[in-house]
Structure 1
Amino acid sequence: MAQATISARVDSKDKERFDEFCENVGISTSAAIYMFVKNVINEHRIPFEIREPRAAYNAKNMAFLKEGIEALNAGKGVEHELIEEDD
Structure 2
Amino acid sequence: MATTSITIRMDENLKKQAEILFESMGLNMTTAFTIFTKAVVRQGKIPFEITADPFYGEANQARLMKSIVQLEAGKGTAHELIETDDE
Partner of 1:84: none
Match of 2:4 in 1: 4
Write out per-residue CA displacement over residues 38-76 of structure 1, whole angstroms, 9 at most, x where no aligned residue. Answer: 00111111001012112xx32985xx6xxx9xxxxxxxx
Report the AA paired with residue 56 of structure 2.
N
Q: Distance in 2 between matches of 1:3 and 1:26?
A: 21
**Residues 19 and 78 (structure 1), Cα distance of their counterparts in 2 relative to 1, 3 Å cut:** closer
Shift of 1:9: 0.3
Q: Which residue of 2 aligns with 1:30?
A: 30
Q: Determine the C-alpha separation between the residues in 2 that align with 1:40 and 1:5.
A: 18
Residue equivalent to 2:20: 20
1:19-58 superposed matches below 5 A: 19-54=19-54, 57-58=55-56
RMSD: 2.3
- TM-score between the two structures when normalised by the length of structure 2: 0.62
* Structure 1 runs, 4 residues or longer, greater than 3 Å off: none
Q: TM-score, normalised by structure 1?
A: 0.62
Give the unaligned 5+ runs of structure 1.
69-76, 80-87
Matched residues, percent identical?
27
Structure 2: gaps of 5 or more residues: 69-76, 80-87
